[in-house]
Structure 1
């Protein structure tokens, strides 16, 4: 992953751009980029080669594909987000705990692809339901994840493809225990 943002913009400016359907590329985004919580999002969202201080998406139904590539995200949350149009997270770094709690819900034919990322904090998939294909490959989960938990209501209508990952993918809690 190499990201060398050219410009610095505020979270407010980034929100205006992305709300207008303009991809975020090659920018350092300061502050908290809060994507219209509790809404239905009908635009494709593209974030590439960025650094983001804080990305907050809570209770959003993304009807079009969300793509995050080659981006360093210091803090983020995707609680209760439905990725109906699919989700691609590729070659990114996340520094802190990342929550996808009670989300997923990609439509058949709209893939969720999590590939080649570095997750420094725990990644929570508690109560996620994946209706379409999902692949989780070539990632480093430093603090683990519960995506393959047997007891935390992570459901797959199509079997998950999870290959060549480093870290525990079967943690049976919503956070990494110090004893694990």
Structure 2
């Protein structure tokens, strides 16, 4: 899926929409869209058919579901983010290294799903703990991932459902050494 946004929004305008609980749809978002770790995020996050220049969330607890669908994300980081309400990333392209380090923590019944995405950079799951269901299917990991690492503290309370992915899934590092 190639997003086809119909409007341009600054990162500040996009953040105002998210803070108000409005979805981000059909937008080309310029600049750094950042969600700060002020307090638990109590709103549903929906991002669909967008192109995002840079999306950065550090130490955010998302109490409601986060959905990123049919979007192109040039740069992003979800360092230390807890997705207690679940996370869906579907039909997306990520251009660079993507970090979920020390995150996860979805509650039972709140799925984390990576479906039909293309990751051009390494995807880091070091020290992630998934309390609920996680599904990883039909993705391309160009530079690999450590989601199935045996030594990097990636843990699953419920066995991971993982199939039909391309790329190395068990790299024992936080990046691909070339």
| Distance in 2 (alpha carbons) for counterparts of 1:44 and 1:100 | 19
Q: Which residue number corresponds to residue 85 of structure 1?
A: 85
Structure 2: gaps spanning 5 or more residues: none
**SS of residue matched to 1:33:** strand
* Cα drift, residue 35 of structure 1: 1.0
CA contact (8 A) 1:122 1:141 kept: yes
* Cα drift, residue 38 of structure 1: 4.5
Normalised to the residue count of structure 1, the TM-score between the two structures is 0.98
Q: Which residue number corresponds to residue 32 of structure 1?
A: 32
Q: Aligned ranges for residues 40-79 of structure 1 at < 5 Å?
A: 40-79=40-79
Normalised to the residue count of structure 2, the TM-score between the two structures is 0.99
The number of residues matched between the two structures is 178
- Whether 1:13 aligns to 2:10 is no
| Distance in 1 (alpha carbons) for counterparts of 2:51 and 2:164 | 26
- Could you say what the CA RMSD is over the residues aligned between the two structures, in angstroms? 0.6
Structure 1: gaps spanning 5 or more residues: none
| Distance in 1 (alpha carbons) for counterparts of 2:39 and 2:151 | 30
- Whether 1:145 aligns to 2:145 is yes
| Distance in 2 (alpha carbons) for counterparts of 1:37 and 1:131 | 21
| Distance in 2 (alpha carbons) for counterparts of 1:48 and 1:78 | 18
| Distance in 2 (alpha carbons) for counterparts of 1:104 and 1:4 | 30
Q: Any runs of at least 4 consecutive aligned residues in structure 1 with deviations exceeding 6 A, and if so which?
A: none
